[in-house]
Structure 1
C-alpha cells in the first residue's frame, strides 16, 4: 500500500523486525505513532508517523526540509533499530485484518521540527561514511555533492553554451556520483533527475560572471578580516605571556 511517493514525503514508515514491534517506540522513548500495523503471527510491525506538512522531493524542493526529514528518518531508524534497507514508499495494508492487527492512535499528524527534537545530537552532527547513507540521506548527499560541482562549473557554460548543455553535463555527473556513493541502493533515475533539475535551474538562474566576482570579492574581505583578527589574537597572547 502506497503512503509516500516520488514527489512527497507524507510521513515516515519504520519496519520493526522483532516481536515487540508494536511497542518499540515506547521502549525507546519516542512519540506515539499515528498508525501501528502489527503482524499477528510474529509481532513484527510497521510504525507510521504522519507529517502535518509533506516534504517536497521534486525539482522545486527546498533542501532544508529534506535535510531535516533525512535526519528524522535516520535518527528514528537507529533508535528503533528498524530495518535500514526498508524503502518507506510502501507499507502493509492496515485494512487486511487477516494478517495485520492495526491500531489507529488518537495522535495528530506531527510537525517535522517536533520529531527532530527526539533525534540525538550525535546523529544530527556526525559525518556519516558514504556507505552508511540510506533512505532520504541519499537524496541529500547527492544534492550536496552535485551542487558544489555545479557552482564550480557553471561559468564554463555561461554565456557561450546553453542550459541544456549544462544540465546534461551535470546529469552525467549525478549518475556517476549515485553509482559511486550508493552502489547497493542507488537512487532511481527519476530521483536523480529531480535533484539535478533543482540544482541546475537555481544555478543557471542565479550565477553569472558578475555575481561570481562579487562573491569572490566579499570572501576576500572576510579573509582579510580573519587575518587581522588572528594577528591581533597572537599579539594579545604574547602580551599576556609577558605580564604573567
Structure 2
C-alpha cells in the first residue's frame, strides 16, 4: 500500500486539471474534446438530467463518470460517514478521489482504470468484462458500498457543493485493485439469485428494512412485481392504473424509510418511480381476459392450418399409392400405408380423390369442346371460299379462265 500514500487533502488546481483531462480521455474523444458531451444533472432526483458540452457539464453537481462504450472509472457509493483510515485497515487500494457530502459525511469513491473496459452488449460475455465485474463486486463488498448504486451519475469532484480529496494520483489495473480481494464468482451468482428471489414478495410490510443500503432499485423492483400481478386482474383505465402504481410506491417507501440518514425521497421522485412502472407495465402486459380472447382466435387459426396441411399430405400419399396400385382396395391401401391411415381415413380420401378426378375429367371435356367449336371443319372452309371468293369474282370469270 506504500505506493498509494501520495495523499493530498483537497483537489487543488493541478489535480482538478488532471481530473478533467483524464475524464475527457476516458470518453475516447482525443483532440475533439470541445465536441464532447457528458451527461450531468442538478440533483439526485435527476432533474435536468441531460447531455451537455464538457465545459458546462463540469459545472453541475452530478456527472456521468463513463461513456456508453467503456468503463474508465469505478465509482462506489458509501452511505455512511467515510474515513479513509478504514481502507488501510482493510488493505484496500486508495481511490483517486473521495467526494464528500459535507452534511452527512457520505462519499463517492472514484477509482481510475489504466485500461478502460469495453462495455457494449456484444462484449459482456467476454472474459475481460466478466473479470471487471468480478473485481468491481468484490471491491464494492470490501468497501461496504451500496450494491444498488448504478453509477450512472456521481458526485462531481470539481463542484463546490462537495468536499473532494485526492488520495492517489495514479490509475489502477484490475489486477492491482483485486490484489487483496476474494473473487468468488460462484458465491456472487448465488447471492444475486437470492436477491432476485427475495425481491419477489407480495406483502408491502415485508419490504420494510429489507436490504441495508438499498436505494430506488430495490423499491422499484419490489413495486414492479406487484404492478405486474395487479395488471393481470385489474379492470381500470390507464390513468387509474398509473395512480395505483404511484400509491404502491408511496406506501412501500413509508414502510422502508430511506437509508440515507434522515433524508427521505421527495414526492416528485416517488411519482417518477411509480409512473415509470405504471406506463411500462400497461404498455407491455395485457390482462388475462384480453390476452385469452385475442390469442384463442389465433390458436384456432394456427391449429386449423396445421390440420389442413397434414390432411393434404395424407391425401397426396394415398393418391400416389392408388396410381401405382389401381386395383388395390381401400382396406389394402390402409394396411399398406400403416399408422395414421385408418380405413375410414382412406375411404374419405378416396371419395375426395374420385370427385376431384371426375371434376377434372369433366373440365377437360368442356375445354376440348370449346377448342373444337373455335376451329371450323373443312367443309365450312370450302363453303366460305366458294361464297366469298368465287362469288365475288363472278362465275363468268371462272368460266373464261377455264
TM-score scaled by structure 1? Answer: 0.49
Q: Which has the higher contact order (CA 8 A, sep 6+)?
A: 1
